[in-house]
Structure 1
Amino acid sequence: MASDIDMPGPVCLIKNVKGQLIANQEALSILSAIQKPVVVVAIVGLYRTGKSYLMNKLAGKNTGFSLGSTVQSHTKGIWMWCVPHSQKTDHTLVLLDTEGLGDVEKGDPENDCWIFALAILLSSTFVYNSMGAINQQALDQLHYVTELTDRIQTRSSPDDDDLENSAEFVSFFPDFVWTLRDFSLELKVNGEPISADEYLQNSLRLLQGISQKEKQFNMPRLCIRKFFPKKKCFVFERPAHGKQLNQLESLQDQDLDPSFVEQVAQFCSYVFSCSEVKTLSGGLKVNGPRLKSLVTTYVNTISSGGLPCMENAVLALSKIENSSAVQKAITYYEQQMSQRVQLPTETLQELLDLHRTCEREAIKIFMDNSFKDIDQVFQSELGTKLETKREEFCKKNVQASLDHCSALLQEIFSALEEDVKQGVYSKPGGYSLFIQKREKLKKKYYEEPRKGVQAEEALKTFLQSKEDVADAILQTDQTLTEKEKQIEVERVKAEAAEAASKQLAEMQEKNNQLAKEKEKSYQEHVEQLTEKTKQEQAQELEEQARIFKLKFEEQVQLLTEGYQKEIKKMQDEMICLQNRKPKRKWYKLKF
């Protein structure tokens, strides 16, 4: 269980080997075992700014993520620590510590851009850690955010009109937290105290004007505001003085500045209580295996020279999930049928009724575990497999009936066969005695319960196998005239013809039942798909409403700043968002 996860320390999730990003299989295996929803907190920032210290505190430890004590960047790649969530027992907290941005030893700034992009793509809360105040230098260092649209695609085939639509990104992007370390300024404006959040909001105000200077000033601010509508800021005083800073791992809270200790506690409390589960479009909550799939897809795409596409990553994940959902549904169906069906069933309809009940439950399991099943490819696969399984059970039912009836006939007619061997009926009037005995035994056979769907066929086959015996007794019975013998032969033929006609009628009835069952199965699939579609559309509308609300709040803020150009852009985005209706499902079930 996810709550029992035992990671004594972090492991590398994404290796950075000479600028090449590689997913670490050990870390991916750990993620595979986490079935509970994950809250993913990633931290980025310049190297040697104390990112790892905050992540260790979120893990409830002083040590874990490497702090380092020199001017060199210590963390390489992206490291992961999965710990039980301190406040939500049904969640797992996944902490991602990234290598420091701007390390001169790396030489390739391209690598920093990808680390930054991956932290955003994988997290539900994104922490940007920097030193000192929010000034133009701090925002210039955050230039990675201005390059996100060049690094990340929301859809595999974006429309040209949507390239500037930040609503596409808002639906995928995490919450934004800016942590300011060694902050020494007073939080005041015009002599009045302000909160850290207000300080951040003021720092992101735009300049009026259209010159290159204003554009350069506004670009990072606009990107932060548009991509991250939910923003939070924390300021931290210097934790200690002098060489003590190099010993943070070994220092206790009483050895640190009390204000710093309190600020760290507030930061951790916010993350624990406000950070959401990593969620994909359509409201799908991410667990360990799903996070593993996202990591694999994004890293492989980057390594192959492509741009990470959020839609493609979700679709790749959906294929894995939907394939698993099909298998879960089939496994459940097989288990339930094996438990509920006692072969042979008395009638075919009895078996079909049990099948329909188990099928309905299996389809629901598929619906509960599947998402984004484009053109119902996997549901169609499920339908085909359920139909095959139904046919298999029908065949098993037939065979079970045949086996049972054959054994029953051998048991019931064994006395008659023994009498034939003893010559009991090889005498005048023997044929009449033989027929009487045979009819009596047939009646006994009919009285036996639960013979199954092959009761008549088994009896017909059995009696046919004994026709030579009956004919021999008939021909040797001297009390019967040749005409009487001929009449009896004709009667036997008539009985056989009647039995064949009855068998044909039963076969036609069976085919009619199976045809009706196939139609009922199809309707069951359509009904459950219709219900799921309604739920998905409701979730999509809810997501649009959330984005619309955030965009509206940002528009109000821009209005107070008098920035008309951006207001017009945002209004266009909101109109586009309003006009975007949930996609209608066109059912393409094929089975």
Structure 2
Amino acid sequence: MASRVAMAEPVCLLENSPSRGLVVQQEALELLSEVTQPVVVVAITGPYRSGKSYLMNRLAAQRKGFSLGSTVQSHTRGIWMWCVAHPCQPGHTLVLLDTEGLGDTEKGDTRNDTWIFVLTLLLSSTLMYNSRGTIDQQALDQLHYVLTLSEHIRLKAGPRRSEDELEDSEKFASFFPTFVWLVRDFTLQLELDGKEISEDQYLENALKLRAESTPETQGYNRTRECIRRFFAERKCFVFDVPARRKDLAHLEEVEDERLDPRFLQQLETFCSYIWEKAPVKRVPGGHIVTGKLLGKLAASYVEVIRSGAVPCLESTVMALAKAENAAAVEEAVRLYRDLMEQRVELPTETLEELLELHARCEREALELFLARAFQEEMHCAQAELMRQVEAVKKKFCKANEKVSRDKCEAALRDLFQELDKRIGDGVYSVPGGYELFRGHQQVLVDKYMGLRGKGLKAPAVLHEFLQSRQTLAQSILKADLSLTEMEKQKKIEEERNRRAEQERELQRKKDAEEKVKLQDQLRSKEEHVLQLKKSLEAACEKKLEEQDKMIRHRRQEERALRQEGFEDKAEQMNGVIRKLEEEISVIEPNYAALIEMGLSLLVKAAFLIYRFSLPPPHFFPPVSTFFPSTPGLLCLSWKGWEISSRLLPNPSAPVWQR
């Protein structure tokens, strides 16, 4: 693997110091930049001295790593990171984030607690909240950070209205991480109304709302409502006291044999769930995050917070998309160039041979680009990829021609050395000398044509070489005194016809090469259009899947509210569901329009590239492309230097309008 997927010990990702505030550590960013694999980011937060670090060490399959401490003082400051090879998903990296304890009274200034909670939430794909005892009102009050999430995170850029804040908060659940509540030192029986319940049922029961309309009840319900609204996927684990009191101070050193068997079983169940179920980190839009991208996200969020602004997901993703798409183009072009250099052996015998190799290398480069690029503005980046690959291809074509030309010229010089010596010695300055010269020259031409490895310029170089010797041949012809004037004219006419036929043959070869080049360019365009179309359609399916998942979650919440007697809140939730369903009805048309726009711009770019890569006159053979979502044909026309496009409503139009 090119990725660095394991670290010997944790490092500080985010320092939280009284003097400098929140600062991303360069060492951590450099380590993340080496992780090119997808990452599963599991973070833990919760009150200080609640045993978070011990569980994180266990998830790393280690006893030590994150600092535990043995006193009432908090040991972890800021956010610490540990990258390890994922135990259940080959080709993925498990990134563990351990955060400083929330609500530490010794810090004096706890204003950064909220930002640390927000950053942990934004960076993770699974967020674990660790508390002690039971899930009671005190435990929920300690999670008050969820109450202000809509004030500390924005979905979209631009001026913000009060209704935007409400809409944003309703959509947070679509990109917030899976929420796992860990209850340490749990001593209760998992029973409700005399019946045994699961840990998840225990959590959901603790999050039930009260129906009374009093200020106290509103305060009681507020945190619960936020957790239910923001975290669509919730999970709960309870843990017994792990060992005797005297062993708790140095728990990382206690052998498993001395730990409570029930705690060990609970610990194993918990670790197995996280390793098997924790999802890969994604950004809004569904793009998979690598370690390198995770570092960029962390740096971007902290920079915004330090500036006094609120992190905006849309702006962050767009900035990342622009940078990553440019990097994806650069990497894909580099791969294409490397593959061509590794696989091509210049000169090739034909242009088709080189272009077939180009097509294979371009396909691999395109696959790399699509795997890394963001959907946002992908068509623009892909057009730039086409332009750069075409430029590199031209260089290989020119290099191919030059190597072929050099070999052919060297071969002709070697072959014609003896003939030139004979001319200098006057061998052909006799009656019948011209025919003798022609015969010897043809023998050398036949030898030249029989040589291997000359490349595609062999006919052209031979033609140029013989043309350069026409004056010499004419002088030999005139010196041949044995020919009558009529015979001389006949020979001159034959020579003229032969040269004309050579010119026509050479032009036919050039025309054939231009046709092959154009066919390859059209193939390249069709490949790019097809791959972009597939990528955008996959993004549409992903968006529909996310929206459907959100609707299912909201329906569950609506049913729960009705069961709890909150008809008014259930009706409000029903309104949210209807709005989400309306959004589904426009997702496909919007993506269809996006696909058409993207393909239109991509094809425009392709035709501009091809137009200026061909010698005059510029021409294009008919090409047609259909869009399944909208019947019609995308048509191109140009006036001067400007290309315009439009979608024709006629699905039976046979070809592109030129």
TM-score, normalized by length of structure 1? 0.90
- Alignment correspondent of 1:8: 8
Cα distance 1:446–1:198, how it changes in 2: closer, same or farther (>3 A)?
closer
What do residues 377-400 of structure 1 show as CA deviations (whole Å, max 9, x unaligned)?
Answer: 221111112211221222122212
- Alignment correspondent of 2:414: 411
- Alignment correspondent of 1:27: 28
Cα distance 1:183–1:352, how it changes in 2: closer, same or farther (>3 A)?
closer
Cα distance 1:399–1:86, how it changes in 2: closer, same or farther (>3 A)?
closer
Matched letter for residue 17 of structure 1: S
Is there any run of 5+ residues in structure 1 with no aligned partner, and where? none
Aligned partners of 2:572 and 2:158: how far apart in 1? 22
Cα distance 1:126–1:375, how it changes in 2: closer, same or farther (>3 A)?
closer
Q: Any idea what SS the aligned residue of 2:427 has?
A: coil
Aligned partners of 2:445 and 2:94: how far apart in 1? 72
Matched letter for residue 86 of structure 2: H
Cα distance 1:249–1:362, how it changes in 2: closer, same or farther (>3 A)?
closer
Q: How does 1:65-464 map to 2 (within 5 A)?
A: 65-156=66-157, 163-165=165-167, 166-240=169-243, 244-338=247-341, 340-448=343-451, 451-464=454-467
Aligned partners of 2:2 and 2:387: how far apart in 1? 34
Cα distance 1:421–1:150, how it changes in 2: closer, same or farther (>3 A)?
same
What do residues 123-165 of structure 1 show as CA deviations (whole Å, max 9, x unaligned)?
Answer: 1221112233323232222111111111112333598655324
Matched letter for residue 118 of structure 1: L
Q: Any idea what SS the aligned residue of 1:21 has?
A: strand
Question: Is the Cα–Cα contact under 8 Å of residues 203 and 236 in structure 2 kept in the other structure?
Answer: yes
Shift of 1:5: 4.3
Q: Any idea what SS the aligned residue of 1:178 has?
A: strand
Question: Is the Cα–Cα contact under 8 Å of residues 3 and 36 in structure 2 kept in the other structure?
Answer: no
Question: Is the Cα–Cα contact under 8 Å of residues 200 and 233 in structure 1 kept in the other structure?
Answer: yes
Aligned partners of 2:2 and 2:217: how far apart in 1? 49
Cα distance 1:67–1:342, how it changes in 2: closer, same or farther (>3 A)?
closer
Question: Is the Cα–Cα contact under 8 Å of residues 375 and 536 in structure 2 kept in the other structure?
Answer: no
68-77 or 160-169, larger mean C-alpha shift: 160-169
- Alignment correspondent of 1:522: 525
Shift of 1:115: 0.5
* CA RMSD, Structure 1 to Structure 2 (Å): 3.0
2-11 or 54-63, larger mean C-alpha shift: 2-11
Question: Is the Cα–Cα contact under 8 Å of residues 124 and 279 in structure 1 kept in the other structure?
Answer: yes
Question: Is the Cα–Cα contact under 8 Å of residues 3 and 91 in structure 1 kept in the other structure?
Answer: no
Aligned partners of 2:49 and 2:164: how far apart in 1? 38
Matched letter for residue 48 of structure 2: Y
Shift of 1:372: 1.3
Between the two structures, name the one with larger relative contact order (CA 8 Å, sep ≥ 6).
1
Shift of 1:487: 6.6
Cα distance 1:258–1:3, how it changes in 2: closer, same or farther (>3 A)?
farther
Question: Is the Cα–Cα contact under 8 Å of residues 315 and 372 in structure 1 kept in the other structure?
Answer: no
Cα distance 1:241–1:506, how it changes in 2: closer, same or farther (>3 A)?
closer
Q: How many percent identity over aligned positions? A: 45
Matched letter for residue 30 of structure 1: L
Question: Is the Cα–Cα contact under 8 Å of residues 122 and 295 in structure 1 kept in the other structure?
Answer: yes
What do residues 527-551 of structure 1 show as CA deviations (whole Å, max 9, x unaligned)?
Answer: 1222222222222222222222222
Aligned partners of 2:134 and 2:509: how far apart in 1? 86
Aligned length: 591
Aligned partners of 2:577 and 2:343: how far apart in 1? 54
80-89 or 334-343, larger mean C-alpha shift: 334-343
Aligned partners of 2:249 and 2:154: how far apart in 1? 41
Q: Does 1:554 align with 2:568?
A: no
Aligned partners of 2:295 and 2:319: how far apart in 1? 12
Is there any run of 5+ residues in structure 2 with no aligned partner, and where? 607-658
Matched letter for residue 132 of structure 2: M
Shift of 1:12: 0.8
Matched letter for residue 113 of structure 2: D
- Alignment correspondent of 1:37: 38
Aligned partners of 1:541 and 1:16: how far apart in 2? 39
TM-score, normalized by length of structure 2? 0.81
Shift of 1:524: 1.7
Shift of 1:293: 2.5
Q: How does 1:558-573 map to 2 (within 5 A)?
A: 558-573=561-576
Matched letter for residue 369 of structure 2: F
Question: Is the Cα–Cα contact under 8 Å of residues 35 and 292 in structure 2 kept in the other structure?
Answer: yes
Q: Any idea what SS the aligned residue of 1:81 has?
A: strand
